[in-house]
Amino acid sequence: MIEPFLVLATRSCRDYARAVVSELNENPERILFPEAIDYIDALSVMGFADGEMEVTLHRSVRGKKVFLFTTCARNEAGLSVDTCKVELYHTIDVLQRSHATEIIVFEPYISCSRSDRTTRRNSIGLWIHYKTMVSLGADHLITYQLHSDKSKTIFDPCRCSIDDVPAISLLQKHLCDTSIRDLGTLDAEVSDNWLFCSVDAGSEKLALRFSSSFGTQFVVAHKQRSYDRANEIECINILSAAPIEGKTVWIVDDMIDTAGSIYGLVKELHARGCKEINVMVVHPVLSPPAIDRLAELKATGALNRLVACDTVDCAEAKSRLEYLEVIPSKSLSSRIVLTIAQDRPMSGIIDSFCPRDYLESKACKD
């Protein structure tokens, strides 16, 4: 029997949480759930005239494990980053005051994860966010693909558990389903004609994981960033032992923010005669002017495909970038919830994805 657990959500993440609950309700193990788990509408927010807020919980959570879905990035409710954070903090407080046994914050994309540089005279956004949640009573944090490995040094597992779940398996599976489809294509086409490319030195490990999984060579892009202005790139150099002319190139990264790095890299690769250039990321942050830049790359024929997960709301981006392929993560999120609710190991979710094994299993089912 699974211990009682509930799914709640702040206003910024209710549709996503409902999709996760729908997946849970379709799971064969649903009969093991001791009670209804959908408490998404059990929270309300009251605003005061001076701009302050108060969050109210309308159902009992006493003695229950609570999964709280939230996001502080671009969201379905159109709320600002600051409003989302304050609402999240208030919600953790009300759950703690209502005697939930465990508060598990599920934030698919942590918007402040880029602010993780520990220098003497700057604030650290990720540390402030984490410290605030923990001090209010959060017991466990779940997210997808933190911006860098060094971010994990901020978290103290003795105070609050963290599961940074790699989401690249969603991207790799999508490639298998939409572009490869069978072992013959993997052996005859992919290994010789595809290249995986990093956006910068920081994403080199990510590109290497893709190239190792699919049996291809990879390219490293070295960018010189301006330290006087945020999100400004001064130059990009391409480092590759393999010829790139006539190749299909997949640029992979954890996120697209303003698309400055992607914009310069795609133009450079296009000028070098690549057959096809595609971009695949986990988090479609897409801060202005990202959509304009990506639309221009598509219009000029430099960019072929753009693929991203739904860890950040994509409704507006999809309306302007019709070619954007959005990979749903709700099924994976439901597996994570159920795994943690049953105190089972996460290894099956975190383990590396093997395209060959996946394609072989698909062939057997067919």
Calculate mean pLDDT across residues 195-204.
87
Closest CA to 29 of 303, 358, 341: 341
Taking only the tens place, the pLDDT of each residue in 247-273 is: 999 999 999 999 998 999 999 999 999
Closest CA to 313 of 13, 6, 5: 13
pLDDT grade for 348, boundaries at 50, 70 and 90: confident
**Which residues lie across from 47 on neighbouring strands?**
53
Range scoring the smallest mean pLDDT among 26-35, 216-225, 281-290, 295-304: 26-35
**Residues 358, 335: Cα–Cα separation, whole Å:** 18
Residue pair 342/305 in contact by the 8 Å Cβ criterion = no
Percent of the chain topping pLDDT 90: 72
Mapped to the 3 state alphabet, what secondary structure does 177-221 carry? Answer: HHHHCCHHHHHHHHHHHEEEEECCHHHHHHHHHHHHHHCCEEEEE
Per-residue pLDDT at 226 = 52
At the topology level, CATH places domain 168-327 in Rossmann fold (3.40.50)
pTM of the model: 0.92
For the chain, give the number of residues: 366
CA distances from 311 to 12, 44, 314, 329, 350 (A): 12, 23, 9, 7, 17
Calculate mean pLDDT across residues 81-92.
98
Taking only the tens place, the pLDDT of each residue in 286-298 is: 999 999 999 999 9
**Which one is predicted more confidently, 3 or 140?**
140
Percent of the chain topping pLDDT 70: 94
Residue pair 142/336 in contact by the 8 Å Cβ criterion = yes
Going from N- to C-terminal start, the domains of the chain cover 5-167+330-350, 168-327
pLDDT of residue 363 exceeding 80: yes
Domains 5-167+330-350 and 168-327 in one fold: yes
**Which residues lie across from 243 on neighbouring strands?**
none
Range scoring the smallest mean pLDDT among 171-175, 226-230, 251-255, 280-284: 226-230
Max mean pLDDT among 21-25, 85-89, 180-184 falls in 85-89
pLDDT grade for 85, boundaries at 50, 70 and 90: very high
pLDDT of residue 217 exceeding 70: yes
**Which residues lie across from 43 on neighbouring strands?**
57
pLDDT of residue 61 exceeding 90: yes
What is the torsion angle, in degrees rounded to the nearest 10, for the CA atoms of residue 31, residue 36, residue 40 and residue 45?
A: -160
Per-residue pLDDT at 120 = 67
Per-residue pLDDT at 17 = 96
Per-residue pLDDT at 232 = 53
pLDDT grade for 111, boundaries at 50, 70 and 90: very high
Taking only the tens place, the pLDDT of each residue in 29-40 is: 776 765 557 788
Per-residue pLDDT at 95 = 98
pLDDT grade for 229, boundaries at 50, 70 and 90: low
Closest CA to 5 of 59, 96, 57, 67: 67
Angle at which helix 125-136 crosses helix 81-97, to 10 degrees, equals 20
Count CB-CB contacts under 10 A for residue 347. Answer: 8
pLDDT of residue 141 exceeding 60: yes
Give the contacts of 39 (CB within 8 A, at least 6 positions apart). 6, 7, 8, 59, 61, 66
pLDDT of residue 335 exceeding 80: yes
Taking only the tens place, the pLDDT of each residue in 93-108 is: 999 999 999 999 999 9
Per-residue pLDDT at 222 = 76
Calculate mean pLDDT across residues 214-226.
80
- Output the six-digit token pair for 327: 């990979």
pLDDT of residue 90 exceeding 80: yes
pLDDT of residue 143 exceeding 90: yes
Per-residue pLDDT at 237 = 76
Please count the CA atoms within 13 angstroms of the CA of 193 that sit on its side-chain side.
13
**Phi/psi at 124 (5° precision):** -120, 105
Q: Which CATH architecture has domain 5-167+330-350?
A: 3-Layer(aba) Sandwich (3.40)
